[in-house]
Structure 1
Amino acid sequence: MNKYIKNKNGLTLVELLATIVILAIVSTLVFSILMKTIETNHNIQQETILRDEADLIISKFIKTLYSTNQNQIVRNINNQYIEVTNDLTKCQKTEENEWIINTACEKTLEPIGFKTEKNITSIYFKSEKYSVQNSNIKILEGSEISGDPSNESIYGIDLKLEITKKRSGNNHPKKMEFKNQIQPIVNSK
């Protein structure tokens, strides 16, 4: 034991360089793992915000369509939105079960779905225009509501959202698509 205590040589240059190289390698690995963790955390946060917004929108679609009677749904316009009449006395059907769309009927129609004007897609729930809760979220063109009111009573909602976050001075967009099927009230005749 005394032999080790009396040795006052210290570290050699090779030992010092080896220590620095090992420390640099370990630091690089730790830093890369830390950066990957931060990036993953940002992605999860963006997905969570998008999912929360999609939940609000889809629940609004469910509430609106569940409270709409199937016989009030007049037509689907290019799979963007469906038109619903709020006055069945002004909108009539022919004997072939097709809607007569005249001026009086046209005035009673309200949209449920997506309308794109000037590259901005908005969501309508009858007389209400929906505003997204987070200003960083955009409803993408290509969101649609599918289903033919004359043949089907189930409507498919295809909601496409994008969120843009700024990190390190750069925009980082994240897009997600949400699909759901909703059935309004169906009268049994």
Structure 2
Amino acid sequence: MRESVNRKDTEKGYTLVELIAAITLVSLIAGVIFTAITFGINSYQKIQIENELRDEADLVMSTVINELYTFAPERIERIDDGGNQGIKLIPGTGGTKKIYIQNDGSSSKGKLIIDTDEFEIRSNIIVDVSDTPQASNITLECSSTSMYPNECSTGMINIKLSLSQDQGGHTSQLTLDSKFGF
């Protein structure tokens, strides 16, 4: 029992310098751990948004291609009226189908319209009335002349699709260029 009393009377412990050094080391280690975890979470969110934008862009492109090949037009006509850029599919049997990007007028956001149906996606389709390079558009390059103006029987359809998504005060943007023949 005498030993425990003697141990209690001694003033062994941590000095102020040792305590400050220990707290500094713990703070540095905690800062490194916090930074690594935060970086990992931010990277995960960025990759998740980019993957979602890519999935939506692929879905839009495959829908347009599917409409083109199921409708099987003889000719395709350019549409460019009031900020709406796109194409009109004209079959030999009559009836038409329009595929275009519609500008809503009040902002730089747009909608993909297939005939009369609005194609809904979560991301914003970027359009701009001042024809900036990042704006979405659907254009037509004719490889043969037609007797009708602005129409092609063969050629290339160029689709430039710019999507953006806001999440947590950060805007992610993806631009997809696609060309395919008809």
Q: Same fold (TM over 0.5)?
A: yes
TM-superposed deviation, 1:109: 4.2
8 Å CA contact 2:99–2:115 kept in 1: the answer is yes
Tell me the amino acid that sits aligned with residue 181 of structure 1: K
Which runs of 5 or more residues in structure 1 are unaligned? 1-5, 91-107, 185-189
- Alignment match, 1:138: 124
Segments of 4+ in structure 1 off by > 4 A?
A: none
Distance in 1 between the 2:65 and 2:28 partners?
55
Distance in 1 between the 2:93 and 2:43 partners?
56
RMSD: 2.5
Distance in 2 between the 1:32 and 1:182 partners?
45
Distance in 2 between the 1:22 and 1:114 partners?
58
Distance in 2 between the 1:110 and 1:70 partners?
9
- Alignment match, 1:112: 99
Which runs of 5 or more residues in structure 2 are unaligned? 1-6, 128-134, 145-153
Q: Where in structure 2 are the equivalents of 1:22-61 lying within 5 Å?
A: 22-61=25-64
Highest relative contact order (Cα 8 Å, sep 6+), 1 or 2? 1
Distance in 2 between the 1:181 and 1:150 partners?
14
Distance in 1 between the 2:98 and 2:50 partners?
29
TM-superposed deviation, 1:128: 2.9
Tell me the amino acid that sits aligned with residue 171 of structure 2: P
TM-superposed deviation, 1:80: 2.0
Question: Secondary structure in 2 aligned to 1:25?
Answer: helix
TM-superposed deviation, 1:73: 0.9
**TM superposition score normalised by structure 1:** 0.70
TM-superposed deviation, 1:76: 4.5
Distance in 2 between the 1:150 and 1:75 partners?
14
Question: Secondary structure in 2 aligned to 1:67?
Answer: helix
Question: Secondary structure in 2 aligned to 1:147?
Answer: strand
Question: Secondary structure in 1 aligned to 2:155?
Answer: coil
TM-superposed deviation, 1:161: 0.6
8 Å CA contact 1:70–1:149 kept in 2: the answer is no
Distance in 1 between the 2:71 and 2:142 partners?
12
Q: Where in structure 2 are the equivalents of 1:173-188 lying within 5 Å?
A: 173-184=171-182
Question: Secondary structure in 1 aligned to 2:27?
Answer: helix
Distance in 2 between the 1:89 and 1:26 partners?
74
- Correspondent of 1:83 among 75, 88, 91: 88
TM-superposed deviation, 1:159: 0.6
String of CA shifts for 1:105-146, please: whole Å, max 9, x gaps. xxx4432131213234111223432111x2xx1111021112
How many residue pairs get aligned? The number is 154
8 Å CA contact 1:123–1:130 kept in 2: the answer is yes
